[in-house]
Structure formats: structure tokens, C-alpha cells
């Protein structure tokens, strides 16, 4: 390979040329994928994929950027395919991709205002808008971080600091929804809470936190020498997409002076939908809320809002000193004064630009459309022989099983077989979960192009796989 000059790495002309070609290729890929003309899942085992990408950087056979991108696209899980129905990862609106190009090239570091002047202003306005959507008042504040896991850690750090400031030397504990995302318990562990101080609150039959159990869990902890500092609710939970009863949890927290945290990574976007806003009634009473933009707001990973109802107090508890970087006079605008992360990309820029270019209404319309469709899908499943939904969906997550057998463990094995076969086919991408020992197929409707016809097609494919499997078991070798 001929050696290039150092400066050529920054050549504007090749950026322009390659950029135009790249956008053309991506637009073509988007078009093809959206038509469903591409497998939703490439279907290679991880080891096989590893072999396709040599570990020597001069051994790929071609150093052509376009070539590599086209191989990358072919080997990717296709989130724009109408047949993608898997995890809660957004089908990004292309305007976000353009905005990411802007933020990647300009590389504004959100650590301090001076390194990200316009990006900081955009973040302030975006955070204020999102906080008002949550129903928070003028005292609220927040910032953006890289993902829900970091958001939950940040919120619990603020909760712990608030508690420590008023009562030092206590053995602190936290009450967490049984169905909470694992990162909430992990955050508490990172903060140094003892294992037995992270207590799960049982869920009811719909997999939402049973708020009636909070009192007994708190008393049990106190009997063992702990002081409860916070309750972490899910809005909604990851597995089934059900919303914890936020108002009841807020009543409990207010009564006992506890910090109420809401992990709204997936479901806080319901505040944008006039039809579904009621699902998060009470979120405005939380002390902290985490809201992933990269789940239900059409944005690629990562951008998460962390919001505090009493902003000044919470942000002060997160503040740091660092003479080489941070200056008290700009504390209000320096992200590193409060974020666990120091350098952060200009996380607000894509969403700010998208809100301006698409308008705000499309985001609410998206939530309403996908939540409506999940309800329609559950109806289809319940009306199709041998299918059963785990719980009526509240969000756009639908868990169900194809269970024609009497024996439950055989039905569990069948769900695993169905999922594996679906992935081997590649046409659809779905995932699975386990609820109280029962295996379910799990779908999240992230793409408005996943129409009712697509869902009917999936149901037909699953029953076909299931029936074929049973037939093979009845007549092995036929
Ligand atoms: C409820 C909930 N909380 C937190 C997370 C973790 O968020 P992230 O993947 O953005 O770190 C997820 C991810 O699916 C989630 O569903």
C-alpha cells in the first residue's frame, strides 16, 4: 500500500467525494432495507463473522472505504427492516445520521462550555423541553449522558449523596422493582451498597411493581440495620414493557422521605403521546428520571436524559473540583461539573436538529402508533390458535408464546427452537425472555414499517416452525 502523506487524512476534497458516495450508498441501503428486501438478521454465528473480518489491518484485501462499508452493512442487523422486531433499539430517522456526521466532524467535547459552545446551548434547551414534557417545574434541571445505564448510576449517585449529606454513616439500601433492568442493581453495587441492601420488590401478575409490598420490604431492611434511601421504579420494565404504578410509589416515597427514581429509559417517551401519557402519571413527582432518546425517539445510540425535579440541589451534589478543567464561574454550563463522564460527544445536537426539522409532533405520533400496533398484535396473537400473550401490552413490547403442548417445559424448549429457527432463516429478528420460569418470545415494535401484514406474516411463520418441529418429533427421520 503506497504511503500517504499525514495531511491527506484531513483532505476536504476526498471527504466531499467519499461523503457524497457514502450518502448515496446509505440511501440505497435504507430504501432496500425498508422494503424488506434484506434479511433482518445476517444469520452468521459470531465465530463465523469473526473469520470474515481479518485481524490484520492490511490483510482485508481492499482498503476501499466503500467496499468495507458495504460489507459492514451486509453483516449488520437491519433495524430499518420491517421484519426487525427484536430489542428496544431505535430505527433511526436518517436526519439523525446527518446530524451525527456534523457532531463527529466538529467533535465538540461536552466537558466544558468552551469546548462546545453551541452544543451546550442546544443541550440546555433540549433538557428544558424534555423536563417540561415530564411535567417537571421550573426548578428542574438535567443533562445528557451516554446511555440509560450511566443515567441510572448518575441518578442513584445523586440520591446517595443527598442521603449522606443529611445522615452520614448509615448502611444504605434501595428498593428496586423485581422487573427492573439489571443496570439499576449494578449501579447500586457500583455505589458500594451491600448486596443484601439491594432489595427487589415483588411484581404483580402483570409484572408491575406491587407497591403494597414496599412497606414490608422497608421494615425488613430496617430490622436488619439498613436505612432505605430510594425506590427505583421502572417505566416501563424491559422484559414485558409494563409500567410500575408511579403515583402509588410517589405516595410511599413522600410519606417516608425517600428518593424516588424512575427508570424511564424505554417508556418515558409516553409523555409525548396524548393518548398514552396516563401510563406515566406520577412521573412528575419523581426526584430523578432517566429517559433514553435512543429508544423511542427515533435516534441512534446513545443519548440519554437524566432529569432532577430539584435541579440545583441534585446537580450541586454531583459537582467536582478540577483546577485544570473546571472553573466555578461557568459551573452552570460545564457538563463535567455534574456528569460521571468527562468528555461527552455533543449528545444533544442530533436530537435538537431533528426536533427542529421533523417537528415535535412526530415523536408523539411515533409512540402512539407503535403502542397502538402492539395492542393490535396482542389481539391477533390471542385470536390465533396456540398463541398466548404473557400480559396485555402497555407499551410496544409484546411477549408471547406458541404453546400447543400440555407439558410446559416442552413448550419452553419449543420457544427456544422457534427463536433459533427464526434467526437461522434471517427474515425476521425476534428475541426471547423468561418470566417466572416460562420462556416467551419477545418482540418490540420499533419500526412504523412493521405493518399489520408483517406481524401476520411473523405469526404464520412461527406456527409453521412450531408445527413442523412437532411433526418431526412425531415422525423422526421423515
Ligand atoms: C428500562 C431500561 N433501563 C435501562 C436500560 C439500559 O439502557 P442503555 O442500554 O441505554 O444503557 C434499558 C435497556 O434496554 C432499559 O430497558
Q: What pLDDT, in 10s, does the model give residues 415-425?
A: 999 999 999 99
**CA–CA separation, 239 vs 391, rounded Å?**
11
For the chain, the first-to-last Cα distance in angstroms comes to 56
Long-range pairs for 453-461 at CB < 8 Å and ≥24 separation?
Answer: 454/36, 454/82, 454/83, 455/373, 455/376, 455/377, 455/380, 456/380, 458/83, 458/85, 458/428, 458/430, 459/380, 459/381, 459/384, 459/387, 461/422, 461/425, 461/427, 461/428
How many angstroms does the Cα of residue 265 sit away from the middle of ligand 1? Answer: 5
Cα pseudo-dihedral 289, 290, 293, 295, rounded to 10: -120
Whether 448 lines ligand 1, by a CB cut-off of 6 Å, is: no
| Mean per-residue pLDDT, 289-312 | 96
Nearest CA to 233 out of 258, 196, 197 is that of 258
**CA–CA separation, 449 vs 430, rounded Å?**
16
Side-chain-facing half-sphere of 127: CA atoms under 13 Å: 28
Band the pLDDT of 478: cuts 50, 70, 90: low
* pLDDT for 367 beyond 90: yes
| Mean per-residue pLDDT, 349-374 | 98
The pTM for the full model equals 0.96
Name which of 44-53, 60-69, 122-131, 355-364 the model is least confident about.
Answer: 60-69
How many angstroms does the Cα of residue 241 sit away from the middle of ligand 1? Answer: 12
Whether 269 lines ligand 1, by a CB cut-off of 6 Å, is: no
* SS3 at position 343: coil
Contact 70, 414 (CB under 8 A): no
Whether 177 lines ligand 1, by a CB cut-off of 6 Å, is: no
Contact 459, 447 (CB under 8 A): no
Nearest CA to 97 out of 361, 365, 349, 444 is that of 349
* pLDDT for 152 beyond 90: yes
| CATH class for the region spanning 108-349 | alpha beta
| Mean per-residue pLDDT, 163-173 | 83
Pocket test of ligand 1: the residue of 187, 232, 292 to mutate, having most ligand atoms within 8 Å of its CB, is 292
Pocket test of ligand 1: the residue of 238, 244, 296, 341 to mutate, having most ligand atoms within 8 Å of its CB, is 238
Rg (CA), the chain: 24
Contact 244, 232 (CB under 8 A): no
Atom of ligand 1 nearest to the CA of 267: 1
How many angstroms does the Cα of residue 386 sit away from the middle of ligand 1? Answer: 31
* pLDDT for 315 beyond 90: no
Pocket test of ligand 1: the residue of 86, 89, 155, 183 to mutate, having most ligand atoms within 8 Å of its CB, is 183
Whether 149 lines ligand 1, by a CB cut-off of 6 Å, is: yes
pLDDT given for residue 65 in this prediction: 83
Mean pLDDT across the chain, nearest whole number?
94
* SS3 at position 271: helix
* pLDDT for 3 beyond 70: no
How many angstroms does the Cα of residue 101 sit away from the middle of ligand 1? Answer: 25
To which residue does cell 422457534 refer?
Answer: 418
**CA–CA separation, 261 vs 278, rounded Å?**
18
Contact 246, 277 (CB under 8 A): no
The residue nearest atom 16 of ligand 1, judged by CA position, is: 238
Sequence spans of domains, the chain: 108-349, 361-474
CA 22 distance to own-chain centroid: 28
Band the pLDDT of 29: cuts 50, 70, 90: very high
Pocket test of ligand 1: the residue of 87, 144, 149, 291 to mutate, having most ligand atoms within 8 Å of its CB, is 149
- The single-letter DSSP state of residue 5 is P
Contact 390, 435 (CB under 8 A): yes
Whether 130 lines ligand 1, by a CB cut-off of 6 Å, is: no
> 361-474 domain in CATH 3.40.309.10?
no
Contact 159, 229 (CB under 8 A): yes
Contact 243, 206 (CB under 8 A): no
pLDDT given for residue 59 in this prediction: 57
CA 83 distance to own-chain centroid: 19
| Mean per-residue pLDDT, 203-221 | 97
How many angstroms does the Cα of residue 2 sit away from the middle of ligand 1? Answer: 45
* pLDDT for 267 beyond 60: yes
Atom of ligand 1 nearest to the CA of 147: 10
DSSP E strands, 215-287: 227-234, 259-263
Q: Are strands 304-308 and 288-292 parallel, antiparallel or unpaired?
A: antiparallel
**CA angle, residues 129, 132, 138, in degrees to nearest 5:** 105
Amino acid at each position: 500500500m503506497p504511503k500517504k502523506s499525514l495531511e491527506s487524512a484531513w483532505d476536504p476534497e476526498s471527504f466531499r467525494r467519499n461523503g457524497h458516495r457514502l450518502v448515496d450508498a446509505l440511501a440505497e441501503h435504507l430504501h432496500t432495507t425498508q422494503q424488506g428486501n434484506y434479511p433482518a438478521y445476517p444469520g452468521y454465528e459470531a465465530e463465523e463473522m469473526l473469520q470474515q473480518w481479518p485481524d490484520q489491518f492490511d490483510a482485508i484485501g481492499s482498503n476501499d472505504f466503500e467496499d468495507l462499508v458495504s460489507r459492514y452493512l451486509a453483516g449488520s442487523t437491519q433495524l430499518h427492516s420491517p421484519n426487525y422486531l427484536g430489542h428496544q433499539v431505535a430505527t433511526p430517522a436518517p436526519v439523525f445520521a446527518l446530524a451525527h456526521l456534523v457532531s463527529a466532524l466538529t467533535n465538540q467535547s461536552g466537558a466544558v462550555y468552551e469546548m462546545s459552545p453551541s452544543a451546550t446551548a442546544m443541550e440546555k434547551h433540549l433538557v428544558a423541553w424534555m423536563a417540561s414534557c415530564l411535567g417537571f417545574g421550573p426548578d428542574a434541571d438535567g443533562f445528557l449522558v451516554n446511555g440509560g445505564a450511566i443515567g441510572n448510576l448518575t441518578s442513584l449517585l445523586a440520591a446517595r449523596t443527598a442521603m449522606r449529606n443529611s445522615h452520614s454513616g448509615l448502611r444504605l439500601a434501595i428498593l428496586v422493582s423485581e422487573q427492573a433492568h439489571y443496570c439499576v442493581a449494578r449501579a447500586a453495587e457500583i455505589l458500594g451498597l451491600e448486596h443484601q441492601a439491594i432489595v427487589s420488590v415483588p411484581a404483580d401478575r402483570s409484572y408491575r411493581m406491587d407497591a403494597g409490598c414496599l412497606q414490608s420490604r422497608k421494615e425488613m431492611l430496617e430490622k436488619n440495620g439498613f436505612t432505605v434511601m430510594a425506590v427505583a421504579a421502572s417505566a416501563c420494565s424491559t422484559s414485558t414493557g409494563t409500567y410500575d404504578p408511579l403515583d402509588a410509589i410517589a405516595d410511599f416515597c413522600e410519606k417516608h422521605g425517600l428518593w424516588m427514581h424512575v427508570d424511564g429509559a424505554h417508556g418515558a417517551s409516553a409523555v409525548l403521546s396524548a393518548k398514552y401519557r396516563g401510563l406515566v402519571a406520577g412521573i412528575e413527582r419523581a426526584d430523578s428520571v432517566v429517559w433514553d432518546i435512543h429508544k423511542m425517539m427515533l435516534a441512534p445510540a446513545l443519548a440519554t436524559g437524566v432529569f432532577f425535579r430539584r435541579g440545583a440541589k441534585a446537580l450541586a451534589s454531583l459537582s467536582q473540583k478540577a483546577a485544570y478543567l473546571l472553573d466555578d464561574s461557568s459551573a452552570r454550563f460545564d457538563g463535567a461539573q455534574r456528569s460521571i463522564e468527562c468528555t461527552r460527544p455533543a449528545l444533544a445536537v442530533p436530537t435538537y436538529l431533528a426536533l427542529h426539522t421533523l417537528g415535535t409532533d412526530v415523536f408523539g405520533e411515533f409512540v402512539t402508533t407503535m403502542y397502538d400496533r402492539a395492542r393490535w398484535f396482542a389481539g391477533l396473537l390471542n385470536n390465533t390458535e396456540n398463541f398466548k400473550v404473557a400480559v396485555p401490552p402497555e407499551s410496544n413490547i409484546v411477549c408471547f408464546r406458541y404453546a400447543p403442548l400440555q407439558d410446559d417445559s416442552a413448550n419452553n424448549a419449543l420457544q427456544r427452537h422457534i427463536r433459533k429457527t427464526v434467526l437461522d432463516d434471517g427474515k425476521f429478528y425476534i428475541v426471547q425472555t423468561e418470566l417466572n420460569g416460562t420462556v416467551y418470545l419477545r418482540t418490540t415494535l420499533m419500526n412504523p414499517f412493521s405493518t399489520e401484514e408483517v406481524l401476520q406474516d411473523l405469526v404464520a411463520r412461527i406456527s409453521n416452525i412450531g408445527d413442523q418441529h412437532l411433526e418431526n418429533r412425531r415422525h423422526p427421520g421423515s
